[in-house]
Amino acid sequence: MKWEEEASHHPFLTNSKPINMTLEEAQKEVDQWINTTGVRYFSELTNMTILMEEVGELARIMSRRYGDQSEKESDKNLDLGDEMADVLWVLICLANQTGIDLSSELKRNLEKKSTRDLTRHKDNPKLK
């Protein structure tokens, strides 16, 4: 079977899924992919190292595209969104492996920041 024919029958390569998804849905999708296509999760330590690699790739694009360094010709076609998605993918893998519900944790983190930093940024003269 040709790759295109095989892809048309693969649940992760079709356009039938909605573009927007919750973090909970993303965690389930990644888990399903890992357990069907990916065979198994890499160890948590390996995934942590991969996360650092992916953050480094993202940082390289950001520093050269938006920072003071000039962007190399070979880097100009790198996809910033794809690099961000790689970071998110590995972070989701780590959350799945360690039993973290990212939706709940993000909500809890936003509540913490909203309480702790209620006036901090408004009162910061550097941000005015």
Q: Note the pTM of the prediction, 2 decimals.
A: 0.82
Predicted confidence band of residue 74 (pLDDT cuts 50, 70, 90): confident
Q: Could you report the per-residue pLDDT of 92-116, keeping only the tens digit for each?
A: 999 999 999 999 999 999 999 999 9
CB 90 within 8 A of CB 56: no
Cβ neighbours, 10 Å, residue 46: 12
CA angle, residues 89, 44, 100, in degrees to nearest 5: 65
Cα separation, 7 vs 48, in Å, equals 30
Q: What is the CATH number of domain 21-127?
A: 1.10.287.1080
Domain coordinates of the chain in residue numbers? 21-127
